[in-house]
Amino acid sequence: MAASDVDGDILSLSAPVLPVWLSFDTATGALFGTPGNAEVCRHDVTLQVTDGTVTIEQSFVLTVIFKDLDGDTIPDSWELAYGLDPTLDNRSVDSDNDGLLDVDEYLMGSSPRDLDTDGDGLPDLVEQRNGTDPSVDNATFTDTDGDALPDLYEIAMGLDETVANGVFTDSDGDGLSDYREYLLGLDPLVDNSMDLDSDGDGLLDQVETAVGLDPNNPADAVADHDHDGLTAREEIAQGTLPTLDNRLFSDFDGDGLPDQTEILAGTDPAGDNRASDCDSDGVSDLVEYLNGTLTTANAALTDSDADGLSDLYEVANGLDPQVANDPRADSDGDALSDLYEYLNGLDPQVDNRLDPDSDGDGISDTLESLLGLDPLDATDAAGDPDGDGIATIVEIASGTSPLIDNATLLDSDGDGITDLSEWLSGLDPEFDNTLTDSDGDGITDMQEYANGTLSTPNEQIVDADNDGLPDLWEVASGLDPAVDNRFTDVDADGMSDVAEYLLGTNPLNVDSDGDGISDGVDPDPLDGAVVIASDGDVGGDGEVAVEDALTALRMAMGFVTASETERHHADVAPLINGVPAPDGEVTAADALVILRKAIGLVSF
């Protein structure tokens, strides 16, 4: 700044408005200073000169932009600070191979040279997905042993937070890894192979929650909640909602016969029965219904032994209708009780652990039918039928009902913060956040929620194209955050991109765990263990021949030493309803079954 006075008065220079990084020399009038990345913006500057009587002021705007030689939107100073080349475009580079591109690390404030910038035990990628700050030690989420299970969770569940539980560790032997149970909010030391039926009423907790029943009240199953003459168990078995009165207007198949009437008459409420004659008296069911003479004695609902399984079902599936089955009995050993399989239309003698998901949207066909969704339409997983701002598949994964607006009422963990607020802020709606401070500002999340200052939306779920997939995840996964991926399956593996995001699989990899099974049909797409089929193909040539039977016989007699793979292929006996039920041993019975298959007497 330069100034002069015509009559020679002494002038005083000053700078009343100045950014903190800029200095002003009052003797020379010079401005000097070096801005940092944080100063990239417009700054107001005001300079003054006075002779003690008259003061002149000059204001202007100083604009600071960061230097970016390679045009990759990352400041050169940041690249140099982390030992990167400022002349190399780093938008598609992942310098530390942690799954996050350098440009994403810059935006998140994490190091492109460190897998865990804040050293809290959670890799930067995990923190990005969890919505936590990768540059701040998240004490709540500290993971001392690096097994992806937070210390607080392991301590609360009776696990050792200093001993790593591998991704595939299954402490309670229920078929769900400890990590999967953590994600689902289950106890890794409690056998959940029944898929949690807390009250033992034959209806899974997940199903009861989804249709608005109490998973801890066994009386729910036999109650008639909508007063339509059908118990909740009967309605769920037939695919109708137990909280919706089906008497007067519900006619699923549009044949003129109300669903309730068809169920009681033993006909299918999902099939057109206008021309059916269930009592074989020569008068159609529709005419009898209109005349009030349609029988209500439904043999399909008769249950002589009062075990919850109809006589017809027990006879058809090889059970005794005169001997009560424990509701938790599991004839086929697939971890689904016979009662559950009956209610869901499954075979109690066939392993149904792969509970089919025809459209690959992450929701089983059974549950979709109960919720009124289309099991052949993958797009409904991303829908929001109750309009509470939470996608159907997210509600199911969180244990809330996609048919009930949870926006203002539901608080699953009872911490005083609604599930929707927690979800939007990147918090776990199943974890007590009363004392947590997710943004590290010294104010608890509970206090911020009460004051209306709880951060939302969370960077974790910023979604420019409103497709249910966070932009950061889409960029990290190689998808375009500006393209709607709700209805796409980029890698054509049978699993929608939305389902891949929720399950943690790779939307650009047909087989995320590399076990040779496409994600869309893999019962556990993150478990790379390869399951060897018990198919009788001992030689592994794709065909079952007499030679395979002879080899199995020699194995049974101890004449040959077989590999573990060969033994798995040979272990096919006994057959239950025509399906192999391996017993862990290769005997002459296995050889006989393989021989029968080789000559065409059996097929499996």
**pLDDT tens-digit profile of 503-531?**
778 888 888 877 666 777 666 677 766 55
- What percentage of the chain reaches a pLDDT higher than 70? 65
Q: Which one has a higher pLDDT value, 432 or 544? A: 544
Residue 37: how many CA atoms within 13 Å on its side-chain side?
Answer: 13
- Note whether residue 193 is domain-resident: no
pLDDT given for residue 30 in this prediction:
92
- Note whether residue 163 is domain-resident: no
Token pair of 111 as six digits: 């190091």
- Note whether residue 577 is domain-resident: yes
- Note whether residue 400 is domain-resident: no
DSSP for 170-220?
-TT-SSS-HHHHHHHT--TTS--TT---TT-SSS-HHHHHHTT--TT-GGG
The pTM for the full model equals 0.26
CA-based nearest residue to 460, from 448, 449, 471:
471
User: Among 297-306, 484-493, 523-532, which is the least confidently predicted range?
Assistant: 297-306
- Note whether residue 558 is domain-resident: yes
Q: Please identify, among 63, 78, 95, the residue that sits at the C-terminal boundary of a domain.
A: 63
- Note whether residue 36 is domain-resident: yes
Q: Which residues pair with 43 in a beta bridge?
A: 62
Token pair of 306 as six digits: 């009062």
DSSP for 328-352?
T--TT-SSS-HHHHHHTT--TTS--
* Confidence check: pLDDT of 235 > 50: yes
Band the pLDDT of 358: cuts 50, 70, 90: low
- Note whether residue 579 is domain-resident: yes
CA-based nearest residue to 288, from 303, 298, 278:
278
- Note whether residue 565 is domain-resident: yes
pLDDT given for residue 256 in this prediction:
74
Token pair of 472 as six digits: 């950061």
Token pair of 516 as six digits: 């040779």
**39: domain range?**
12-63
Domain count, the chain: 2
Q: Please identify, among 48, 63, 78, the residue that sits at the C-terminal boundary of a domain.
A: 63
pLDDT given for residue 298 in this prediction:
45
CA dist 16 and 436 (Å) reads: 42
DSSP three-state, residue 57: strand
Q: What is the pLDDT of residues 541-599, one digit of tens each?
A: 888 888 888 888 788 877 788 887 888 889 888 877 778 888 888 887 888 788 778 87
- Is the C-alpha dihedral spanning 393, 396, 398, 403 positive or negative? positive
Q: How many helices (H) and strands (E) does the chain have?
A: 20, 7
Q: What is the pLDDT of residues 202-214, one digit of tens each?
A: 777 666 766 777 7
